[in-house]
Structure 1
Amino acid sequence: MSTPWSRALRVADLVAAEPRGCGGVVVRAGAGPVRDLWLDHLRGRLRPGTPLRRMPAGIPDDRLLGGIDLAATLAAGRPVTEAGLLAEADGGLLVVPMAERLTPGTAARLAGALDTGRVPGGAPARFGLILLDEGTGDDERAPDALADRLAFHLDLAGIAWGETRAAIDDHDPSEVDEARAVDAAVADLCRAAAGLGILSLRAPLLAMRVAHRLAAEAGRATLAGADVREAARLVLAPRAMRMPPVAEETREAPPETAPGEAAPDPAEAGNTAEDGGRMDAQAESVVEAARAAIPAGLLAGFAAAGARTPPPRAGKAGALLKSVRSGRPAGTRPGHPRAGRLALIDTLRAAAPWQRLRRAEGEAGPAFRVRASDVRITRFRQRGETTTIFAVDASGSAALERLAEAKGAIELLLAEAYIRRDRVALVAFRGTAAEIVLAPTRALARARRDLAALPGGGGTPLASGLDAAADLARTVIRAGGAATVVVLTDGRANVTRSGTPGRAQAGADALDAAALLRAHAIRSILIDTAARPQDSARRLAEAMGARYLPLPYADATAMSRAIRAVG
């Protein structure tokens, strides 16, 4: 009986037999013994001499695609090129660990090499790709542009170590297959793909390549039904986006034949056109084979993902910022060393191809001549921090309840701030003024200590609280970060900016402070903490340009989710 592990080994056999023909395989699994065993099986099935290369994370373009060998060029006095990793993998396989973290640029270069079989410099690079996807959620997976080009998608996460020891028997000796024409097989695979909700045309094309490979392994010159069905199981089933329609139970009875007249061939009868575009028996068998091999829980996961909103995060990772001397290197560009950090190796590489020409022109200078146009400086990129600023109404009899909710939400966000560039701050307004209780921080212990000591009660200087939150947000933005202001209030102010009582003037001051937040384009959220949604809070949110969230009875978890979804 076919099992997920036996199908995984079958995929490894097919990829090893023809690395480039099937494009490769996406292996969804974390590092562990099951994945290592599968890779060992794949390595053992490769023909002797077949290249198997592993791509390191963060590989530079010159190592991936090839370029000037600087040491050899300086020694020889002429340009000497070196092969990149893609050219080294020609005729074999390239293993890409942590494929879910591939940058768009690297993914585009790999996709281009898969399509053309060459690197930009012209060197041949005909290889299969093994993407080791270690993502833990739907938002972390290998790039779709690459996964779409690979025939096989494996999920080894649900395979226990004990299952790998089980006997493998994918062949049912009682199954009788008839030879089929190539055009009929293509039509059947296309129908199966459409029934499974697969929109990409690459899927049936890759399945057809796999079917031909299966037939060749069995020593057949023509395709058999078993080849097409197994290709559907291996290639189409893991890509399924919906359950195919169930085959009709009833069929038209075959026409009666006169005595002595040959009965019509069932396969030919099935291929005749029927009312409503009904599939023939062969096509239905391909669909049923794919249906039976759909991984358990795959479609349920798609349905659940479609029904729910995207998973909330603690905040944006921060906008990409340009930096001239700090951050993560992101290639080089022509420039002057005063405008950035000199990239010496890339500068020498840019100058190396022109050395013979410059010496022939009689240019004076050292043996190795570098011009200003050869100078390269390193480009850097870094992400700015995101700071969530809570402006909490700490006045009145319900202050203790509101503060408890704010404290819980802040602690939940801080728990995730260790793995993201996020910070949290707290501004409390009560009595006659506002104060910054917690400066922007990621320190969970300090946050808990300062929050525990926060008192409540008194008047509601709402305008002062909004002004303090806006000033803090502008400070964060000027420092290169991003800020989100979260205001927890019922919108009913009773203390003016000057600290004197008066509801009418206090309300006008609050609307004026809210308009300033909107004018500075500060992203903001207003959480109405009243027992019932208040018109005053709604008007304040409109003046701020903020999202309005009436959460009168929300606990800390619900509040944290709402803030993360907006942030």
Structure 2
Amino acid sequence: MSDLGLITALLRADAGLGGVILRARMGPAQAAALELLDRVLGPGPKLHPTMGPDALDGGLDVTASLAAGELRRTTGLLARPGPLRLPMAERATPWLATRLAAHLDEDATILIAVDEGIEDEAVPAPIAARCAFHVTLADRAAAHDTPVAGTCPAGVGVPDDIVAQIVTLAATLGIHDPRGPLLTLRAARGIAALDRRGTVTLTDATRAAELVLAPRATQIPEPPAPDAAPEPPQPQADPDPGTQIPEDILLDAVRAALPPDLLAKLAQKADRSAKGTGAGAKRQGNRRGRPLPARASGTGRVDLIATLRAAAPWQTIRRRADPVRTGPIVRKSDLRHRRYEEKSDRLLIFTVDASGSAALARLAEAKGAVELLLAEAYARRDHVALIAFRGDGAELLLPPTRSLVQTKRRLAALPGGGGTPLAHGLRKAQAVAVTARRKGMTPTMILLTDGRSNIALDGSRDRKQAAADVTRIARALRGLDALVIDTGKRPEPALQSLARDLNAPYLPLPRADAARLSQVVGAALT
């Protein structure tokens, strides 16, 4: 909260800074911050992260238009005065983020975006790039002083060497968006204006860099080597002591202001799979879910209000062509159909190797890990299915279900022994996944095996043919989200090749117990 008073004064003096992103869960800190912003910047319209174009930009008022016999439009929230407030900004739809970004570009409007996300949830990039300040609040409210706004920043000059230093610093921090250094220069001019100075100083630039550039950093700059010999200073003609910047002062100041968990966040982004969030996929339907804007093409229920909106502008022309008709004249081309968006249920297909080699090595640990994962899946209300392959084939021990007790009972009774019909297990998982997709689920296969496939699809004990069958089925499963866990004592090259064919992560866990297996798999799924 120590920086929020200065940020509020800067936004009041210069709306071109875009706004501020407050990362804080619901609590005293968030309430105190929003109360300060409302008191200094004034009240404004409150947005919703899923609102559509009619609420933002205004639309046709059907009731008033039909009553008056001419078009009547509603006023959108973007036309109202005052700063915009967007709670739960991390849930903003792509359309809303793009529309707000365009509005901030074309109009000097302040946006207060409240980020209440957890872990890696964040405000969409179009909004984050246009808000100069990103503030992470503590769990409790703190005292703060609100600076008094000074003169307009437009009349404040910036020395050329400060401009060059800020641009270089942005590149050093891995900030490639030009808005970063531009907003930093604008904030530095605002800080100088608050102190009633006509020129930006090194102190102003340093403070602005701490506020604007530090939260945007994507890499941590390395400090200079201690044993490096300093280069002799180059002679310059009468440098101005008021604008001359000592080397690395800005870099040291910003390095001290970097978020303490920046390394962990960067590592998490690097390790995170790009295949999805681990939740059920979004899909469109015509019966239930979150409403989407109506469309002309479709076979669902007719949206009466959207249909009347589409027909209203043509009423004058249609009445001239057909003066006998009374009431609204609606044509087939005016029909608009309802659309909805919902998240499908996720199905975790556990495909467990119960062959002799797995039983001797890791079957007990695999059972324990699957049991722990099943408990987590039950808490998330995921469906689970259990497939075991051993001997000469694979068996669906448990169809897709949410019954945790039944799943544990089937898993405990899972025997071990016999050959390794990996191809049969993959083919059974493919059949379960196809059926699940037809029922509207999002299937994910978790394969636990040591990779020593020795039974072909025709039942023969031919390792070469078995490997060819595994490769063929894996390529057919390439569109399915999957996770390959090597439970053998040492990494198996055949499983690495299988993971590449499936386009799935490969996790060799030679010495992990059941808890470690469950932890790694849970992290990969989420």
1:193 and 1:437, CA in 2 relative to 1: closer, same or farther beyond 3 A? same
Partners of 2:198 and 2:276 in 1: how far apart? 58
Preserved contact between residue 19 and residue 132 of structure 2 (Cα < 8 Å): yes
Q: Distance in 1 between matches of 2:109 and 2:453?
A: 68
Paired with 1:169 and 1:112, the residues of 2 have a C-alpha distance of: 30
Q: What's the counterpart of residue 331 of structure 1?
A: 293
1:312-351 aligned at under 5 Å gives the runs 316-335=278-297, 339-351=299-311
- 2: distance between equivalents of 1:283 and 1:399? 64
Q: Tell me the SS of whatever aligns to 1:341.
A: coil
**Residue 75 in 1 paired to residue 67 in 2?**
yes
1:66 to 41, 46, 58: 58
Residues 314-340 of structure 1: per-residue CA shift (max 9 Å, x gap) = 97334443433343322111136xx11
1:545 deviates by 8.1
Choose which of 220, 238, 245 in structure 2 pairs with 1:242.
220
When structure 1 is superposed on structure 2, of 7-16 and 386-395 the one drifting more is 386-395
Match of 1:211 in 2: 188
What is the match of residue 151 of structure 2? none
Deviation at 1:7, TM superposition (A): 1.2
Asked whether the 8 Å contact 1:483–1:522 carries over to 2, the reply is no
Matched to 1:321, the amino acid is R
Letter in 2 for 1:267: D
Change (3 A) 1:235 1:299: same
Cα distance, 1:250–1:8 mapped onto 2, change above 3 Å: farther
- Tell me the CA shift for residue 481 of structure 1: 3.4
Report SS of the residue matched to 2:407: helix
1:97 and 2:95 are equivalent in the alignment: no
With over 3 angstroms needed to count, the CA separation of the structure-2 counterparts of 1:251 and 1:80, relative to structure 1, is farther
Q: What whole-Å deviation, never above 9, does each CA across 1:521-556 have from its counterpart, x for those lacking one?
A: 464555444445567767877888877655443433
Does the Cα contact within 8 Å between 1:511 and 1:540 map onto a contact in 2? no
CA shift in 2, pair 1:466/1:218, >3 Å: closer
Cα distance in 1 for residues equivalent to 2:402 and 2:382:
7
Which of 25, 42, 66 aligns to 1:30? It is 25
Distance 1:386 1:470 in 2: 15
Name which of 514, 518, 523 aligns with 1:556.
Answer: 514
Aligned residue number for residue 417 of structure 1: 377
Distance 1:529 1:375, change over 3 A: same
Q: TM-score, normalised by structure 2?
A: 0.82
The partner residue of 1:21 within 16, 23, 32 is: 16
Find the residue that maps to 1:21 and give its secondary structure.
helix
Please state how far the C-alpha of 1:438 moved relative to its aligned partner: 1.9
SS in 1 for 2:279: coil
Q: Which SS does the other structure have where 2:17 is aligned?
A: coil
Q: Tell me, yes or no, if the aligned pair for 1:17 and 1:45 is still in contact at 8 Å.
A: no
What is the aligned length? 513
Q: 1:566 to 1:286 in 2, by over 3 A?
A: closer
Match of 2:110 in 1: 128
Aligned to 1:6: 2
Letter in 2 for 1:26: I
8 Å Cα contact 2:447/2:485 also seen in 1: yes
- Quick check: 1:344–1:376 contact (8 Å CA) kept in 2? yes
Query: Residues 495-540 of structure 1, C-alpha deviation per residue, up to 9 Å, x if partnerless?
Result: 78788xx634x87467546634534646455544444556776787
| Letter matched to residue 394 of structure 1 | A
Work out whether residues 314 and 413 of structure 1, in 8 Å CA contact, stay in contact via their aligned partners in 2: no
1:142 aligns with 2:123: yes
Output the amino acid matched with 1:199: H
2:245 maps to 281
Aligned partner of 2:152 in structure 1 is none
**1-structure distance, mates of 2:66, 2:405:** 56
State which of 209, 218, 239 in structure 2 corresponds to 1:232. 209
Aligned-residue RMSD, C-alpha: 4.0
Counterparts of 2:59 and 2:457 in 1: how far apart (Å)? 65
Determine the C-alpha separation between the residues in 1 that align with 2:494 and 2:250: 63
The letter for the 1-side match of 2:133 is F
CA distances 1:172-203 after superposition (whole Å, capped 9, x unpaired)? xxxxxxx9655454344334433444322212
Residue pairs, 1:260-409, within 5 angstroms = 267=240, 280-281=244-245, 285-292=249-256, 294-301=257-264, 304-305=267-268, 309-310=271-272, 316-335=278-297, 339-396=299-356, 399=359, 402-409=362-369
TM norm structure 1: 0.77
Question: In terms of mean alpha carbon deviation, does 428-437 or 128-137 score higher?
Answer: 428-437
Residue type matched to 1:242 in 2?
A: I
Alignment check: 8 A CA contact 2:215 2:259 kept: no
Q: Which residue of 2 aligns with 1:565?
A: 524
Q: How far is 1:225 from its partner?
A: 4.7
Q: Distance in 1 between matches of 2:275 and 2:499?
A: 23
Once the two structures are overlaid, the 10-residue window that deviates more, 341-350 or 361-370, is 361-370
Q: Match of 2:245, as an amino acid? A: A
- Asked if structure 1 preserves the Cα contact closer than 8 Å seen for 2:354 and 2:363, the reply is yes
Deviation at 1:290, TM superposition (A): 3.7
- Where in structure 2 are there 5+ consecutive unaligned residues? 149-155
Q: What code does the residue aligned with 1:518 have?
A: R
Q: Which residue of 2 aligns with 1:275?
A: none
Maintained 8 Å contact 2:47/2:87: yes
Cα shift at 1:388: 2.9
Distance 1:390 1:498 in 2: 24
Could you tell me how far 1:73 is from its partner in structure 2? 1.5
- 1: CA distance, partners of 2:192 / 2:498: 71
Residue 451 of structure 1 is matched in structure 2 by 411
Structure 1: 5+ residue stretches without partners? 118-125, 172-178, 256-263, 272-279
Query: 1:11 deviation in Å?
Result: 0.9
Instruction: Give the secondary-structure state (helix, strand or coil) at the position aligned to 1:136.
Output: coil
User: How far did 1:156 drift?
Assistant: 1.0
Q: 1:152: Cα distance to partner?
A: 0.9
Q: Are the aligned partners of 2:206 and 2:253 in contact in 1 as well (CA < 8 Å)?
A: yes
Contact preservation (8 Å) 2:392, 2:419: yes
Larger Rg: 1
Measured in 2, the distance between the counterparts of 1:153 and 1:547 equals 34
Deviation at 1:286, TM superposition (A): 4.6
Once residues 373 and 393 of structure 1 are traced to their aligned partners in structure 2, the CA distance between those partners, rounded to angstroms, is 57
Deviation digits for residues 258-280 of structure 1 (CA, Å, limit 9, x no counterpart)? xxxxxx86526x87xxxxxxxx3
How many Å separate the matches in 2 of 1:484 and 1:301? 27
* Aligned-partner SS, 1:68: coil
The residue type paired with residue 281 of structure 1 is: I
Q: State the Cα distance separating 1:33 from its structure 2 match.
A: 0.4
Measured after TM superposition, the shift of residue 62 of structure 1 is 0.7
Displacement of 1:403 in angstroms is: 3.8
What is aligned with 2:153?
Answer: none
Which of 2, 15, 40 is the aligned partner of 1:45?
A: 40
Give the CA deviation at 1:357: 3.0
Q: 1:536 to 1:60 in 2, by over 3 A?
A: closer
2:502 and 2:35 map into 1 onto residues whose CA distance is: 60
Structure-2 residue corresponding to 1:274:
none
CA distance in 2, matches of 1:490, 1:151: 52
CA distance in 1, matches of 2:96, 2:344: 23
Deviations 1:399-453 (A, max 9, x none): 2864433333334433443576743211123456543222223333332233233
Cα distance in 2 for partners of 1:169, 1:80 equals 44
Distance in 2, matches of 1:507 and 1:192, equals: 58
Compared with structure 1, are the counterparts of its residues 298 and 451 closer, same or farther at alpha carbon in structure 2 (3 Å cutoff)? Answer: closer
Relative to structure 1, the CA distance from residue 468 to residue 226 in structure 2 (aligned partners, 3 Å threshold; closer, same or farther) is closer
